[in-house]
Amino acid sequence: MATKTYTKPSDVAESAYQGLSREQLVEAYRLMYTSRKIDDREILLKRQQRIFFQISGAGHEAVGVAAGLVLKSGYDWFYPYYRDRALCLTLGATPYQMLLQGVGAADDPNSGGRQMPSHWSFPELNVVTQSSPTGSQILQAVGCAEAGRYFAAHPEAAKKASGDYREFKDVHFQGDEVAYVSLGDGTTSEGEFWEALNTSSNRKLPVIFVVEDNEYAISVPVEVQTPGGNISRLLSGFPNFHFEEVDGTDPVETYAAFARSAAYCREGNGPAFVHAHVIRPYSHSLSDDERLYRPDAERQRDAARDPITRMQMFLLREGILDEKGINRLEKQVEEDLQAAVDQALEAEPPKPESVTQFVYSPDVDPTSAVFATAPAPVAVSDGKKPAAKTMADLINATLRDEMQRDERIVMFGEDVADCSRDQYLQEKLIKGKGGVFKLTAGLQGDFGSDRVFNSPLAEANIVGRATGMATRGLKPVVEIQFFDYIWPAMMQLRNELPLIRWRSNNGFSAPAVVRVAIGGYLTGGAIYHSQCGESIFTHIPGLRVVFPSNALDAAGLLRTAIRCDDPVLFLEHKRLYRETFGRAPYPGPDYMIPFGKAKVVQEGSDLSVITYGAVVPRALQAAQKLEREHGVKVELIDLRCLSPFDWETISDSVRKTNRVIVAYEDSLSWGYGAEIAARIADELFDQLDAPVRRVAAKDTFVAYQPILEDAILPQADDLFRAMKELSEY
């Protein structure tokens, strides 16, 4: 594979058609024409209300065909965007498959009727499920390229293994594959685009970035997006890139640009950037009329460059096809298309009861008994008890044991590595950092810098790359340094990572783990180092959300998170990392706790308190005082897993005590407790002897001054008062 010699542009086929044969040129035209005709036909079908949306690839056909002829279907990896119909056809997708998405058929291979048309997903072709947010595919393509490189360096990691997600996650890699990712000119304004350029440049990754520049993003022209109006000029200073700027309406010129780019990437020199100037003859979509913002003269200038007519003229001029030949080809395309349309219109729609299928893995159920194992602390020789460890210790130990067990695990995030400058470690000049809370300390030293490394200071970069890696079969266990700064990753966390499986109808999955340091009670943590906000994430279907309160639960749940087949948000309370409360001996390398199983911290008969995280020790303190002083017996339930949550344990407890408080650290209104309280009111109304109460933070942010922090966050005294009051109700 990767040698360090770069094939110079002049070495790539110098023949008349840049190495394309006459047959390939005819085939290129057939594919371009097919692509345009599908658009035309879909527009008609939309007007007849036989399909429900249309977005065209018109004007972008030459780029797609050129890329598809250079790159290898099912070998290279593709993160296309909605204008890449011609690319997908060239890679082997059929018009019928595309039309199935238009009608929203059960058999739609892209999404089973879940996504709009032109949202490509063809697992056999390595065309990875695409979404609608502009630009969210780009970082995933970077992660995909990193995964390919990782498996080439660690081929053993690609092997199937049993007992966890690997049983269901086949890996294939080639060693010199490239990742293709395309986007429009407007999308270059998204921050994630720049984050992707950054990492692919720094790590010299084999990614081909393709900007299909039609000079508009809906109605906004390129000069509003790009300083100077030309993205190539702007990027020219990025190191390690191979740059191409081409007339993307000319398939032959564009083919040569892709051939040079692919050669550069395959040889391991770094990423390539293909800037293709194209046109957009059909407005942005059927919902847009570009005559409102583009004068006729400008539109006519574009029309003169239409790739379909240009290619037709080219074939005639070169004597590759005569008029008859062209007519014959076009007629055949239209006949075939008609047959595909007829067939697609007959296709069965999906069954309504299938809607929740593939929200989570159908293969691995992390709530099942398979994930319930007993702690097996290592025996200590002199008969002493094994030492009680903190939550931070046990998370670190669990990460270490899992990395030992599963070579697919990689870890990255801000400051996660011991030291990015590897030689300092090797020469033993420094001890190493391993996370601002030291949760990953020593892991780079133990497992190497290609398994534990620092990310740039960019949260979308962390989650986006992890999503791409997990799609390829790696198990990224990444870290968001503070929950307060998770928001740049929100597009990936809300619209990408947890949706990969559902939106592709189980064609792809991305079971990554995102560890996040969360929470307050820090004395001085203030607004931006104290936030909770877990309910924002429990509101996302497809994402598992875990929030342990003690060392043993953290170890058991983290292991389940890593071994399961779903994406997991693993929330680690900073205040609990080194707390005396909840320390435990290391439970051994196979200790697991199933998701969705609460822990009854103490049994009681008078009142149920349902909580989790750092409120657990505070509620316990309050409950003990209440029993001491007033003889009230509180049943304290630690949910520890928030999505899914243990309704059965809650329900049993409320049936027993008939009184319930839901307590949580986040601000009161719209918080996690609202869902629990609503469910209790709904299903256990006749069991209640008192209203459902919530104890939570004030509806503000956490202030710096400790007096204010205490007043804002729920304290043991607040819990005590509420418990006493409700027990007397």
Ligand X SMILES: Cc1ncc(C[n+]2csc(CCOP(=O)(O)OP(=O)(O)O)c2C)c(N)n1
- Which stretches of the chain bind ligand X, using CB under 6 A? 83, 132-134, 183-187, 212, 214, 216-218, 280, 284
* Distance of closest approach, residue 116 Cβ to Mg ion, in angstroms: 18
* Distance of closest approach, residue 218 Cβ to ligand X, in angstroms: 5
* Torsions phi, psi for 719 (to 5 deg): -65, -40
- In one letter, which amino acid is 458? A
- ∠ Cα 266 270 274 (to 5°): 85
SS3 of 428, please? Answer: coil
Kindly tell me which residue out of 68, 104, 135, 184 binds Mg ion, with binding defined by CB under 5 A. Answer: 184
Which option in Mg ion, ligand X, none does residue 132 bind, with CB closer than 5 to 8 A by kind? ligand X
Which option in ligand X, Mg ion, none does residue 92 bind, with CB closer than 5 to 8 A by kind? none
| Residue with nearest beta carbon to Mg ion | 184
Which option in Mg ion, ligand X, none does residue 20 bind, with CB closer than 5 to 8 A by kind? none
**Stretches 178-186, 228-236, 241-249, 495-503: which one binds Mg ion (CB under 5 A)?**
178-186
Which option in ligand X, Mg ion, none does residue 133 bind, with CB closer than 5 to 8 A by kind? ligand X
* Distance of closest approach, residue 441 Cβ to Mg ion, in angstroms: 46
Rank residues 224 and 313 by Cβ distance to Mg ion and give the closer one. Answer: 224
CA distance 461 to 482: 15
How many residues make contact with Mg ion (CB under 5 A)?
Answer: 6
For tokens 């809300």, name the residue. 494
CA distance 264 to 246: 17
**Stretches 215-223, 408-416, 418-426, 465-473: which one binds Mg ion (CB under 5 A)?**
215-223
Rank residues 175 and 221 by Cβ distance to Mg ion and give the closer one. Answer: 221
**Stretches 214-222, 370-378, 463-471, 507-515: which one binds Mg ion (CB under 5 A)?**
214-222
214 forms part of the interface with Mg ion (CB under 5 A): yes
For tokens 């990460």, name the residue. 399
SS3 of 28, please? Answer: helix
Which option in ligand X, Mg ion, none does residue 361 bind, with CB closer than 5 to 8 A by kind? none
Indicate which residue of 529, 539, 573, 630 is catalytic. Answer: 529
Kindly tell me which residue out of 176, 185, 496, 606 binds Mg ion, with binding defined by CB under 5 A. Answer: 185
Strand partners, 478: 514
Rank residues 491 and 695 by Cβ distance to ligand X and give the closer one. Answer: 491
* Distance of closest approach, residue 78 Cβ to ligand X, in angstroms: 17
Rank residues 288 and 334 by Cβ distance to Mg ion and give the closer one. Answer: 288
Q: Say if strands 693-697 and 660-667 run parallel, antiparallel, or are unpaired.
A: parallel
* Distance of closest approach, residue 512 Cβ to ligand X, in angstroms: 21
Which option in Mg ion, ligand X, none does residue 664 bind, with CB closer than 5 to 8 A by kind? none
Which option in Mg ion, ligand X, none does residue 134 bind, with CB closer than 5 to 8 A by kind? ligand X
Rank residues 231 and 403 by Cβ distance to Mg ion and give the closer one. Answer: 231
CA distances for 277 relative to 64, 403, 584, angstroms? 12, 46, 62
Rank residues 443 and 458 by Cβ distance to ligand X and give the closer one. Answer: 458
* Distance of closest approach, residue 690 Cβ to ligand X, in angstroms: 47
Which option in Mg ion, ligand X, none does residue 572 bind, with CB closer than 5 to 8 A by kind? none
> Who's near 721: CB < 8 A, 6+ residues apart?
none
CA distance 639 to 724: 22
**Stretches 185-193, 398-406, 435-443, 717-725: which one binds Mg ion (CB under 5 A)?**
185-193
| Residue with nearest beta carbon to ligand X | 184
CA distance 349 to 557: 39
* Distance of closest approach, residue 64 Cβ to Mg ion, in angstroms: 15
- 319-348: which residues touch Mg ion (CB under 5 A)? none
For tokens 């990025």, name the residue. 238
Task: Kindly tell me the number of DSSP H helices and DSSP E strands found in the chain.
Answer: 25, 19
Q: For the stretch 637-666, what's the b/e string if a residue is b when 16 or more beta carbons lie within 10 angstroms of its beta carbon?
A: bbbbbbbbbbeebbbbbbeebbbbbbbbbb
SS3 of 646, please? Answer: coil
In 3D, which of 524, 519, 500 has the Cα closest to residue 576?
A: 519
Which option in ligand X, Mg ion, none does residue 467 bind, with CB closer than 5 to 8 A by kind? none
**DSSP summary character for residue 74:** T
Which option in Mg ion, ligand X, none does residue 149 bind, with CB closer than 5 to 8 A by kind? none
**Stretches 155-163, 217-225, 587-595, 696-704: which one binds Mg ion (CB under 5 A)?**
217-225
CA distances for 122 relative to 110, 172, 341, 577, angstroms? 6, 15, 19, 43
> Who's near 455: CB < 8 A, 6+ residues apart?
199, 412, 413, 414, 416, 461, 462, 465, 478
Question: DSSP string spanning 364-422?
Answer: --TTSGGG-----PPPPTTSPPPPPB-HHHHHHHHHHHHHHH-TTEEEEETT-SS-SSH
- 402-461: which residues touch Mg ion (CB under 5 A)? none
**Stretches 182-190, 195-203, 352-360, 693-701: which one binds Mg ion (CB under 5 A)?**
182-190
Rank residues 97 and 134 by Cβ distance to ligand X and give the closer one. Answer: 134
The DSSP H or E segment spanning 196 is helix 191-202
Which option in ligand X, Mg ion, none does residue 187 bind, with CB closer than 5 to 8 A by kind? ligand X
Rank residues 217 and 601 by Cβ distance to Mg ion and give the closer one. Answer: 217
- In one letter, which amino acid is 552? L
In 3D, which of 618, 619, 546, 511 has the Cα closest to residue 575?
A: 618
* Distance of closest approach, residue 304 Cβ to ligand X, in angstroms: 19
* Distance of closest approach, residue 214 Cβ to Mg ion, in angstroms: 4
Rank residues 185 and 192 by Cβ distance to Mg ion and give the closer one. Answer: 185
Question: DSSP string spanning 286-306?
Answer: TT--GGGTS-HHHHHHHHTT-
> What sections of 203-250 are H helices per DSSP?
222-225, 231-235
* Distance of closest approach, residue 215 Cβ to Mg ion, in angstroms: 7
Rank residues 185 and 407 by Cβ distance to ligand X and give the closer one. Answer: 185
Answer yes or no: 275 catalytic: no
Rank residues 183 and 554 by Cβ distance to ligand X and give the closer one. Answer: 183
CA distance 60 to 678: 51
187 forms part of the interface with Mg ion (CB under 5 A): no
- 605-634: which residues touch Mg ion (CB under 5 A)? none
Q: Say if strands 634-638 and 607-611 run parallel, antiparallel, or are unpaired.
A: parallel
57 forms part of the interface with Mg ion (CB under 5 A): no
* Distance of closest approach, residue 187 Cβ to ligand X, in angstroms: 4
Question: Tokens in use for 168?
Answer: 């269901």
The catalytic residue positions are 529
Interface with Mg ion (CB under 5 A): 184-186, 214, 216-217
